[in-house]
């Protein structure tokens, strides 16, 4: 699986109802690809947020800049557009945006 964020998806079903977290500071929409794979496309506004994972995820940053810290790590790492990080299942990660808006594609693996 590629860690880079794709620029588009063909033949998908999109859920119109948004996934809204942290009073609208993180918003995403769910996509289902033709083969049944699910992804979310989202925006993260400035702030610091914690997300729990049920299954493993790949967070590919498609625009902007964010910082992320996985469970057990002591420091944040910066991720620019075109970079990605993997999060284990049944875990969590902290993600922060200092300025602007970070855009992402989350793949559930």
The DSSP bridge pattern shows strands 77-80 and 12-14 to be: unpaired
Tens of pLDDT, residue by residue over 38-52, are 999 999 999 999 999
Residue 1 lies in a domain: no
Q: Which domain holds residue 48?
A: 12-108
Domain at 102, CATH number:
2.60.120.10
* Pick from 82, 86, 80: nearest CA to 106: 86
Domain count for the chain, please give it. Answer: 1
> Would 3 be classed as within a structural domain?
no
Categorize the per-residue pLDDT at 3 as very low, low, confident or very high, splitting at 50, 70 and 90. low
Q: Could you tell me if residue 66 is inside a domain? A: yes
Q: Which of 28, 47, 25, 10 is nearest to 107 (CA)?
A: 28
Mean pLDDT, residues 77-94 taken together: 97
């Amino acid at each position: 699986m590629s860690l880079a964020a794709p620029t588009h998806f063909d033949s998908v079903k999109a859920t119109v109802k948004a996934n809204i977290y942290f009073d609208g500071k993180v918003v995403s929409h769910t996509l289902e690809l033709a083969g049944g794979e699910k992804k979310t496309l989202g925006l993260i506004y400035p702030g610091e947020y914690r997300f729990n994972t049920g299954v493993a995820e790949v967070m590919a940053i498609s625009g902007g800049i964010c910082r992320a810290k996985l469970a057990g790590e002591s420091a944040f790492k910066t991720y620019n557009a075109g970079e990605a990080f993997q999060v284990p299942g049944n875990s969590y990660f902290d993600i922060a945006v200092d300025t602007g808006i970070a855009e992402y594609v989350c793949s559930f693996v």
